[in-house]
Amino acid sequence: MTTETEVKVPEIIFKDDALTPIWEKVKREERISFEDGLVCLQTDDIVSLGQMADYAKRRLWGDKVYFVFNRQINPTNICVLSCTFCDFAKKKGDEDAYEMGMEEILGKLDPEMHEVHIVGGHHPDWPFERYEGIIRGIHEAYPSIRIKAWTAAEIDYFSKRFRMSEEEVFSRMKDAGMVSMPGGGAEVFSNRVRKQLFPGKNSAERWLEIHRMAHTMGIKSNATLLYGHIETLEERLQHMILLRELQDEAPGFFAFIPLEYQVGTTNLVPRQASALEDLRTIATSRLMLDNFPHIKAYWVMIGEETASIALNFGASDLDGTIGEERIAHAAKAASPVGLARARMLRLIGDAGKIPVERDALYNEIHVYDS
């Protein structure tokens, strides 16, 4: 990764002495360990942790914070799986099950957009050509919109359901117009959690194998972590370390996206993670994932206010305007369903940062006045 700018090292007055040796490593650009990460995830000295993470972020990007004018499309909520944490999926015949046709999908897009983000359920009957046709149809109608599509869980499903290798799935999707992959489907890389919450879904090894393949085929991607449910702090960190190792081995991740579990009606835990826990997780991930260009503050899950504060806790990307989001909102996320460009600019400006509009491949489209 390139260093955008030299930044002044802040004077940090620590209340938690356990952070001091970690700060020394951060200043020396030395990789921090699992044990260091645990200290960060447990500290009450949130201000110092934030200053450390903000320094690591500014060393990469200065005061720039990225966002994209995009649209999320969830083509169907009909899914063969029933992950315990998921409020989105429905079965065929359910009252609120839906399937979007091509006309409906194209009607949601606008040639000014720079990204379309496509994820959905694993439909039991759709042929591969229908998924492929969604990508091709968008690409032909809006060649300037970059298409980020299908999580590793979906690629795994396509490969098994249609008896194709993942290379073949990727190369057909690439030919149709897909340029990058979202980071969903990772959940938490823990067999204990997987057995309890999503036993039918791809394993951690398979998720990592699919992203490794994508990166080697020139398809960049993101990586998520679903936190704030039954996972332990150690499992959260182990997840980050596995991602860090893959990024060393086969670079290709743009961003790490911590996704706060939405209690919704699945009620795995009595209450949502607190804003402090969100900030601790974002700051710790900035320090742990030294080889990831960006940490995202996903406003849909953590809300606009916490997302804006997170821009001073190591986050360098606010995701996008989205337009309409069905997955988190099926779980009763309190955020609005979409944000206008002006509101994104205000959130970034309120945090004292410089808004940079990007496309799906992080090409800079416009740098705004701060």
Task: Name the residues that contact ligand SF4, by CB under 6 A.
Answer: 79, 81-83, 86, 88-89, 121-122, 153, 201
- In terms of CB distance, is 194 or 353 closer to ligand SF4? 194
What CA–CA distance (Å, rounded) separates 240 from 238? 5
From the CB of 208, what's the least distance to ligand SF4, in Å? 18
From the CB of 219, what's the least distance to ligand SF4, in Å? 20
Write the secondary structure of 155-220 as one string of H (helix), E (strand) and C (coil): HHHHHHHCCCCHHHHHHHHHHHCEEEECCCCCCCCCHHHHHHHCCCCCCHHHHHHHHHHHHHCCCE
Using CA atoms in the order 332, 334, 335, 336, what is the torsion angle rounded to 10 degrees?
70
- In terms of CB distance, is 41 or 153 closer to ligand SF4? 153
From the CB of 311, what's the least distance to ligand SF4, in Å? 28
What CA–CA distance (Å, rounded) separates 338 from 328? 12
From the CB of 157, what's the least distance to ligand SF4, in Å? 8
From the CB of 80, what's the least distance to ligand SF4, in Å? 7
- In terms of CB distance, is 198 or 299 closer to ligand SF4? 198
| 20-27 helix and 34-42 helix, angle to the nearest 10 degrees | 120
Phi, psi (degrees; rounded to nearest 5) at 73: -120, 125
- In terms of CB distance, is 5 or 203 closer to ligand SF4? 203
- In terms of CB distance, is 121 or 320 closer to ligand SF4? 121
What CA–CA distance (Å, rounded) separates 324 from 132? 22
Given a contact cutoff of 8 angstroms between Cβ atoms, the answer to whether 293 and 361 are in contact is no
Structure tokens at 265: 């009606």
From the CB of 94, what's the least distance to ligand SF4, in Å? 13
- In terms of CB distance, is 47 or 81 closer to ligand SF4? 81
